[in-house]
Amino acid sequence: MTNFSLFLLITSVCVVQPRFSADEASTFNSSTIRELLISSFEESLQFIENSSDHYRQRRSTSRAEPDAQGVSRAGEVFHAALQLLKDKAKQKYKRNFTASALLSEENVELLAELSLCPAATDPDLCEQSRHNKYRTPTGVCNNRRNPRWGAANTALVRWLPAEYEDGEGEPKGWNRERLHNGFQLPPPRSVSREIIRSTCKWREDDYSQLLVDWGQYIDHDITFTPQSVRRAAFWTDVDCHKTCKNVHPCFPIETEDSLCMPFRRSTPDCFVTSGSDFHRVLQRQQQNSITSYIDASLVYGHTLQLEGTFRDLSGLSGKLAINDRFKDPNGRSFLPFVAKTLSACHTDQQGERVECFSAGDSRVNEVLTLIALHTLWLREHNRIAEALRLINDHWSPEIIYQEARKIVGALHQIITIRDYVPKIIGLESFEHHIGPYRGYDPTVDASASNVFATAAFRFGHGTIPPILSRLNTSFQEHEQYPHLRIHKSFFSPWRIVKEGGIEPTLRGMIGTAAPTVRANSLLAEEVTEMLLVLDTHQNMDLASLNLQRGRDHGLPGYNKWRNFCGLTQIKTLDDLMEAVGDGRVAEKILNLYKHPDNIDVWLGGLVENFLPGSRTGPLFACLIGKQIKSIRDGDRFWWEADGVFTKQQKNELLKASLSRVICDNSDIQEIPPEPFRFGKYPSDYVDCSEIPSMSLEAWREEKSQDLQLCGLPRPIKNGDFIFSSQSGKLTALYSCYHGFKLEGAAEIVCEGNQWNNEAPRCTCE
């Protein structure tokens, strides 16, 4: 901490209006609060490892692209200081205090400033023309009035108030003897073992495994909640991997052998502005570190830095970077490797080492199916970019990149909302909760909600199969690369490189029926007993992690969410049996939870009877439908919104399908027309030549008269330009790649028969 910062803190802390009794107020004065706040802030800085260099840098109040690590550390410092302050007050006065009882709004704003919590983005910044044509990588300025809505590194929104044991941050189950509705909450591991774990999973005939895998893939385009930057407990320095005590940020999961599974709490948010909801600011809120929009950010990254990492900037082609060491057996490209050598991924012991793959989302290596889908979209971007370059030879590499990115984002939206969501929530729920598109609505906040990210969209965990199928060209088990137990596919990119490329895995996704989900057959043992997490040296339990995460985030219980969705409350065993459809499972749940209001929302939603033609019950159908509608309606760049694509381009986009993407970017030549539906080979398959293709001719752009007169603007090193004509004149808008700053005119205009200014330069920051 700098001397200047400490001086600022000591001299600027505002007088608190204490919320105490008359006797306490006589001793607990503003001077005491000041001392406690100062010491708490100083200690909280020390608790954040490797933070000194970061916190020496003063934040610009107009920063529009907050750094993910910086936002996480700021939240840790802010909330650590609040917890320390409450602990110090408790030690001094022998009773518990809330932060809102101790601090004024001015105190909180100052603490946020010193913690380097992100500042508000000035809406005026969003009026610049460069934010009108293409998305920003971070999602900032998608909504011009509220620039942070849907943006990366912002808080998950609350549709219902958080429920913490202390009202501010301690999750349900933190104080293990505390009663809820007269009863202790059951440990998540007990719920997993007695209700959720399934020794076998049956397959259904309606949908393919690809439906399951697309759900995981598109979830990674919408939400990512980072865990605490600290691996050790605050104030005690106890390693979260070794303690069984609840001490921030450690919230371990009790196991049946009196041991525990490690669990670190999600990173807290600390966005504070003048006029913020005081109570909400002091409550623990969790971050979404990626954009909430369906924008293919998992392909391109959600920051300027990540975007620059994945682009092939040296090729001047508008393409994405590819692997420079390996290609598949037919010469197709793989994803690039992470920069770090000897990465954490598993590798084959024979032959050349294969590192973790790198993509716009860091979870790409979790399972082979994710790697396969990421690889498809890398290839699809480069295929489109190459076609656009040939069609429009006057486009700069930046225009080619942005237009290809825009098309790929639109394809993600179409496949998700046209082909995927109706199968998940059912056509009737789709019409009720989502309905037809009526245009962009700037009053809609597209941000991902906490309950969607932490519970509702985790419904798919019940459809994870115990076996990952790998099939040959006849869609039978592959002779060289047989099926794998699912845990054998975790973090194993070497299997893609050395075991036939992505095709055996893709065929397995297409040609295998999806597992069923029933109240008595929820999660496979492969993920409740053998889940692999890279930084943990023991097998984990996905069901326990989900339940604990919901409590960590302060999610209200199942009944509160049923009420939110207009569903009847569960009051008796008969009510629960009707909702679940399995009397034995309903009895088990009430025997464990004792009271219907104690049931965790993820479990309650997971065991509900499916709606007709869906894979979810009424609660998750409501929550997923509400979220998808807000993401669609609140996205200024949604593919159907006015001015995003021409009518001709929209018509071509509607011809697109995931089947076509697979045909164009793999060696698979036969495929079902609807790949999310399970079909028998060969009767339900067609040749790829029968799958409609979109024509990129709809993106042909003839040279304007102005461009013919002025000629192409001069290219610049470490940057590029796009065209705009919003001012009525042809304008070249220049920008620099990450790590460089612009010197000179950012915009030059074609006037008469020449550009009115010299092209700028990009210099190192």
727 lies in the same domain as 671: no
Mean per-residue pLDDT for 566-581?
96
Q: What is the tens place of the pLDDT at every residue in 690-723?
A: 999 999 999 999 999 999 999 999 999 999 999 9
Provide the 8-state DSSP code for 212: H
Give a yes or no: residue 156 inside a domain: no
| 341 plus 312 within the same structural domain | yes
Of 146, 102, 84, the C-alpha closest to 120 is 146
Residue 729 and residue 686 share a domain: no
Looking at the domain assignment, is residue 539 inside a domain?
A: yes
Are 714 and 670 members of one domain? no
The C-alpha atoms of residue 564 and residue 314 are separated, in whole angstroms, by 52
Please report whether residue 21 resides in a domain: yes
Residues contacting 655, CB < 8 A, separation 6+: 692, 693, 694
The confidence score (pLDDT) of residue 521 equals 75
**Which pLDDT band, with edges at 50, 70 and 90, does 2 fall under?**
very low
Q: What is the CATH number of the domain that holds 740?
A: 2.10.70.10
Render pLDDT for 105-138 as a digit per residue (tens, 0 to 9). 888 888 888 888 988 888 888 876 666 889 999 9
DSSP string, 549-571: HHHHTT---HHHHHHHTTPPP--
Q: Which domain holds residue 46?
A: 3-119
Dihedral of the alpha carbons of 730, 731, 737, 738, in degrees to the nearest 10: -130
Domain boundary, last residue among 94, 119, 144: 119
Residues 487 and 385 in one domain: yes
pLDDT at 60: 33
Per DSSP, what are the bridge partners of residue 494? none
**Averaged pLDDT, 300-323:** 94
Tokens 């934040």 correspond to what residue?
A: 59
Segment 633-654 shows an average pLDDT of 98
CA separation for the pair 662, 666 (Å, rounded): 6
Beta strands in 458-578 (DSSP E): 467-468, 484-485, 513-515, 523-524
The string of DSSP codes covering 60-105 is PTT--S--HHHHHHHHHHHHHHHHHHHHHHHHHHSS---HHHH--H
CA 399 to chain centre: 27
Per-residue confidence (pLDDT) for residue 23, from 0 to 100: 47
* Residue matched to tokens 């390996």: 326
User: What contacts 387, CB < 8 A, 6 or more positions away?
Assistant: 696
Residue 568 lies in a domain: no
* Domain end among 701, 727, 747: 701
Q: Is residue 438 part of a domain?
A: yes
Average pLDDT over residues 657-676: 98
Dihedral pair phi/psi, residue 686, rounded to 5°: -130, 160
- State the sign of the Cα–Cα–Cα–Cα dihedral 431, 436, 442, 443: negative
β-pairing, 197-198 vs 523-524, is parallel
Is the bond preceding residue 226 a cis peptide, omega within 30 degrees? no
With cut-offs at 50, 70 and 90, classify the pLDDT of residue 49.
low
For 631, the 3-state DSSP assignment is: helix
- Residue whose structure tokens are 């393409």: 319
- φ and ψ of 205, to 5 deg: -105, -10
Structure-block tokens of residue 451: 């309950």
- With beta carbons less than 8 A apart as the criterion, state whether 36 and 85 touch: yes
Pick the range with the lowest mean pLDDT from 3-12, 454-463, 569-578, 720-729.
Answer: 3-12
Q: Which residue has the tokens 């600022």?
A: 8
Tokens representing 165 are: 């044991």
For the annotated catalytic residues, the residue numbers are 220
Report the SS3 class of residue 762: strand
Q: Is residue 163 part of a domain?
A: no
Percent of the chain clearing pLDDT 90 (strictly above): 68
* pLDDT tens, position by position, 180-210: 999 999 999 999 999 998 766 677 779 999 9
Residues 369, 381, single domain; the answer is yes
Q: Are residues 479 and 503 in the same domain?
A: yes
Report pLDDT digits (tens) over 469-481.
Answer: 999 999 999 999 9
Torsions phi, psi of 261, nearest 5? Answer: -100, 140
pLDDT score of 295 more than 70: yes
Asked whether residue 262 is domain-assigned, the answer is no
User: Same domain, yes or no, for 287 and 396?
Assistant: yes
Summarize the confidence of residues 146-168 as an average pLDDT: 95
pLDDT, average across residues 216-240: 83
The answer to whether residue 586 is domain-embedded is: no
Tally of domains in the chain: 3
Q: Do 539 and 392 sit in the same domain of this protein? A: yes
Check whether residue 320 and residue 346 sit in a common domain: yes
Tokens representing residue 715 in the block: 């290219």
| CA–CA dist 229, 216 (Å, integer) | 24
Q: Are residues 500 and 371 in the same domain?
A: yes
And the tokens for 185?
């909450």
The CATH number linked to 529 is 1.10.640.10
Q: For residue 276, give the amino acid letter.
A: S
Q: For the whole model, what pTM was predicted?
A: 0.93
Give 212 or 532, the one with higher predicted confidence. Answer: 212
What pLDDT, on a 0 to 100 scale, did the predictor assign at position 474? 96
Rounded average pLDDT over 159-177: 94
pLDDT at 129: 61
Other C-beta atoms within 10 Å of 709: how many?
A: 14
Q: Both 655 and 732 in a single domain?
A: no
pLDDT, residue 6, reads: 36
User: What sign for the dihedral angle of Cα 677, 679, 685, 688?
Assistant: positive
- Asked whether 446 and 149 are in contact (CB, 8 A), the reply is yes
Whether 745 has a pLDDT exceeding 60, the answer reads: yes
The Cα 87–Cα 81 span in angstroms is 10
pLDDT per residue as tens digits for the range 482-541: 999 998 999 999 999 999 999 999 999 999 999 888 877 788 787 888 777 766 778 889
- Domain boundary, last residue among 85, 104, 119: 119
Which token pair is 203?
């397959």
Annotated binding residues for heme b: 461
Locus of tokens 């394809």: 411
Q: How crowded is the C-beta side of 91, counted as CA atoms within 13 Å? A: 7
Res. 231 pLDDT band, cuts 50 70 90: low
